[in-house]
C-alpha cells in the first residue's frame, strides 16, 4: 500500500495496483486510490499510470470519485511560462491523458 505511487508507473507494478483496485477489499481500494490521487494528474500523462487512474475513476466510492473530479476540474485551462504546471489542455492533448478526461 505504501508503495502504490512507486508501483503505478512500473511495467508490472501497475498490474499489481490495478489488481488491488479491481479485486481488493473496499478498505484496500480506498487506501490505494487515496495514494494514487496525490500524483493522479502526473500519472495520467503516461500509459501505465493512465490505466491505473482510469480504474480509480471507475471503481472509487462516490466521495472519492467526486474528489478526483474536483482535482481535475481545478487544473488551469492552459499552461503559461509563469504557471508551468500540468493543465487541462495538456491532458486533453495527451495520448493517454485524454482517456482520463
Total count of domains within the chain: 1
Neighbours of 68 (CB within 10 A): 19
Range of the domain at 20: 4-100
- Rounded to an integer, what distance in angstroms lies between the CA atom of residue 70 and that of residue 82? 23
Model pTM score: 0.85
- Between helix 47-59 and helix 62-73 the angle, nearest 10°, is 130
Looking at residue 76, its pLDDT comes to: 82
Sign of dihedral through CA atoms 26, 15, 32, 101?
negative
| pLDDT tens per residue, range 27-86 | 999 999 999 998 999 999 999 999 999 999 999 999 999 999 998 888 888 776 655 678
Closest C-alpha to 50, from 2, 7, 1, 95 = 95
DSSP state of 38: T
Amino acid at each position: 500500500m505504501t508503495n502504490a505511487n512507486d508501483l503505478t508507473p512500473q511495467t508490472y507494478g501497475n498490474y499489481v495496483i490495478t489488481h488491488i483496485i479491481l479485486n481488493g477489499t473496499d478498505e484496500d481500494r480506498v487506501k490505494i486510490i487515496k495514494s494514487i490521487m496525490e500524483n493522479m494528474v502526473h500519472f495520467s500523462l503516461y500509459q501505465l499510470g493512465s490505466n491505473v487512474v482510469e480504474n480509480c475513476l471507475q471503481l472509487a466510492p462516490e466521495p472519492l470519485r467526486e474528489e478526483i473530479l474536483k482535482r481535475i476540474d481545478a487544473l488551469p485551462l492552459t499552461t503559461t511560462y509563469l504557471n508551468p504546471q500540468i493543465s487541462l489542455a495538456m491532458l486533453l492533448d495527451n495520448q493517454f491523458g485524454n482517456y482520463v478526461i
